[in-house]
Structure 1
Amino acid sequence: MERNLLRQSSRRRAARAWTWIGVLALLVIAVFIVSMNSGYTRLSPGEVFRTLFGGGNANQNLILFQFRLPRIVITVLLGAGLALSGCILQGITRNALADPGILGINSGAGLMVVLYVAFYPVTKLGSVFLLPCLALVGALATAALIYALARKRGEGLSPTRMVLVGIALASGISAAMIVLTIRLSPDQYQFVQTWLAGSIYGTNWKFVLALLPWLAVLIPYVLLKAKALNVLSLGDALATGLGARTERERLGLLAASVALAGACVAVGGGISFVGLIAPHLARQLVGSRHQVLIPAAALTGSLLVIAADTVSRSILQPSGVPTGIVVTVIGAPYFLYLLARTKSKA
């Protein structure tokens, strides 16, 4: 009897979780449609519909297919990638405040991008596909340094120490980037400052093609490792008792998290807090089982970034404001709230 009740309860929780995932998917689609209608040049829903099916004029085709759609697709991919990166970090560190931006991984990727911009123009086709690779190198180097400094012999990885080391490294890397900007030309400096603010500068299909393969490979890998994340979230002692190879699984998932963050930062700039907010909101909706948390976090991140980008393109026209600023306006107070709640529980 009790076993049947437990099964029914589990089925209800699973049904509720997948219902929320469906709702999130519908919200992403709805905001996607709204975003196609938003911008300096307004397109009515009818004009968007006609243009999508080949009935638009040359100007409408240019606006929708060459400017808006690539940017909107990139925001969806960026949101999913950054959210999954944060979800993985929170799972393997068991730290609610873990996020690739806060830990300095985004800064490490950004440093490589700034170095590249200083010596090579970003407008060439080759550079578009090389940027994610260089950002990955910077992010991996930063993550390796954080891992080495936060790990104590005999104690394993300390989640609190990891956050503190990441914040310190992020500050140091940010200072190095400021020094590097001194040697930049005015055009390069303008690009770097816009990029650091989280402006999604990649507004053509080349940037979509540069980012898509990374997510196409890494997202299925993360989904396959959902059970491993569930076990790692229980702590090293219990995970080892259950037969998990904790160090190997943690390193593989950490590499996936870093790769997702690095690729997204290379294309979207310094957008922070997505990896912090999205997993938390998704966890409130679907629970902590990573089989449902991973897709829910990805959809929540996509919804957050595409909504922020739509707002950023609609205010202070024609230039708008960087998407990262809109996300920060939401994310900074939420981070302080989580920090206060964590302290109250301690």
Structure 2
Amino acid sequence: MIQLLIDALQRLGIDFGFFRLAESVTFRALMALATSLAVAVLLGWKLVVFLYQRRLRDTSGEFLSLHTHSKQGTPTGGGLLVLLACASSALVWGHLDSVQLLLVIAGFVYLGLVGLVDDALKVRFRSSLFGLGQLTKTLLLLAFIVPFSWLLVADASPVPAALRTALFVPFVKQPLFDLGALGFFLFAVFAIFSIVNAVNVTDGMDGLLCGAATTVLAVYVVFAYVMSNAVLSRYLLFPYLTGAEELVIFGAALIGAVLGFLWRNAFPAEVFLGDTGSLAIGGAIAMMAFLLRQEMLFPIAGGLFVLEIFTSLVQEKIGTRLGRRLVLRAPFHHALTFRGIAEPKAVVRLWIVSLLLAAIALLSLKVR
């Protein structure tokens, strides 16, 4: 939006040095981060009051953890703040003619609205068990994931034709396989759906998801910056992607929004993300990963999310059928508090793990 204003002023013969600065990806990314952070921090308390007055309060089942009972009544659906701060900042500092930017914002907002409906239903029926049914939620998620995945391999894809169906893995210069259009489409549907759910189940402790998501987003912002720069991408032997710079702007805006939300979500949380925030953030990470063709980097950078969903699936799909507990508690973060580790300490330890995994992921920029 800033670019549209600058273009209009330049057509009128008005020119300032700031206009050239605004063309810098680094400057726009920093401003996008600062803008979304400021919006989230300044509007955070007003959102808490708004959600509380509308009785949008947490309804966690006490049986899940000894800690959830004391959290009942905390406003939920705070992901609305992340949606507002990120989308507005990205639209202001991004180029609105970018397919990548508009696509990611559209998916981000759509998934957030699906989560908002789920949160609202849980509040209405006063139970975390009565949100959107599992089948309904799955269909609503697939309603976006399927067309997005097909767009990745279609002729209209923003991804270059030579890269659309190739599978890249970290620490390897050349793609390992060409999955073909159908194979890559099916892989994308499965992977994006899995990433969204992995991020969703991680949102179980005050500040946990915000910290972990920030590190993963930072990794993808760095990769987007490298792949949007012809010199850096050539030097590091990565494909140059036109338009990837707008993913830098979006990623920076989302980091700012998440950090601003963390201001209110740190222990003891004044507001929860709810599915409104967790589904949107998970979808944003997945979309950035696939548009950059770095989806296989997620198991490293987002290793914490992988662990969380793995323990949940093992217990839910296998342990339940066998009638026994295969893991101490699921998702994994509940196992830490079950062992007597205080929630703030558990969160910080998991943040450290996430930071280490992010550092390993960044090594793949050079070690290839």
Tell me if TM exceeds 0.5: no
TM-score normalised by structure 1 residue count: 0.36
TM-score by length of 2: 0.34
Q: Which has the higher helix share?
A: 1
